[in-house]
Structure 1
Amino acid sequence: MPLNQYDQVGLLKDILNNHQMDCCGSVAELKQLERLIKSLLANTNIDQNVKSVLEEIYYYSQHGINSNNLDQHIESHQGNLSQWVSEIDQFS
C-alpha cells in the first residue's frame, strides 16, 4: 500500500528527528529520505517553500550516503535538522 503525502511527510520528519536526537543514522535511512523526497517533489500541489527545504534535505541525504563518516555528517547538520522539521511543519 503506497503512502499518501501526509504519511510521507510524517516519515520524513521522523527520520530527521531521529537523526537529530541520536546524532547517528544509517545509509538505508538516507536512501529512504531520498525516495520520500522524490515522491513529494513529484506532487505539483506542494508549496514552493517546502520544495526548497526538500531539496536541501535531498542534498543532505546524498552527501551522507557518500560520506566516509556518516555520524560526523549527521552531527555537522544538527542545526539544519531541527530547522527543516520546523519549516516543513509550517507549510504542510
Structure 2
Amino acid sequence: MPLSHQDQVTLLKDILNNHQMDCCGSVAECEQLERLIKSLLVNNQINQNVKNILQDVYLYSQQGAQTADLDQHILTNQGNLSEWVSHIDQFS
C-alpha cells in the first residue's frame, strides 16, 4: 500500500527530526529522503512553499549520502534541520 502524501511528509519530518536530535544518521536515511522528496515534488497537493524547502532538503540528502563524514554533515546542518521541519509544519 503506497503512502499518502501526508504520510510521506510525516516520514520526512521524522527522519529530519532524528538527524537533528541524534546528530547522526545513515546513508540509507539520506537515500530515503531523496525518494520521498522526488515523490512529493511531483504531487500537486503539496504547497509550493514546501516544494521550495524540499529542494534544499534534497540537496542536503544528496550531499549526506555522498559525504565521508555523515555525522559532521548532519552537525553542520543542525540549524537548517530545525528550520526545515518548522517551515514544513507551517505549510503542510
TM-score, with normalisation over the residues of structure 2? 0.98
CA shift at 1:46, angstroms?
1.8
Give the match for residue 2 of structure 1.
2
Query: How far has the Cα of 1:47 moved from its partner?
Result: 1.4
Partner residue, 2:38: 38
CA–CA distance in 1 between the matches of 2:55 and 2:85? Answer: 13
Q: Report how far residue 6 of structure 1 moved.
A: 0.7
| Percent identical | 71
1:86 is matched with: 86
Q: Which runs of structure 2 are paired with 1:67-82 in the superposition (5 Å)?
A: 67-82=67-82
Secondary structure at the residue paired with 2:2? Answer: coil
TM-score (norm 1): 0.98
State the SS of the aligned residue for 1:30.
helix
User: 5+ residue gaps in structure 1?
Assistant: none
Shift in Å, 1:89: 0.2
Per the TM alignment, residue 79 of structure 1 is displaced from its structure 2 partner at its CA by 0.2
Q: Which 4+ stretches in 1 moved above 3 angstroms?
A: none
- Name the count of aligned residue pairs: 92
Post-superposition Cα deviations, 1:35-89, rounded to whole Å, max 9, x if no partner, equal 0000000112321111110000000000011101000000000000000000000
Give the corresponding residue for 2:11. 11
CA distance in 2, matches of 1:44, 1:10: 17
Cα distance in 2 for partners of 1:66, 1:11 equals 21
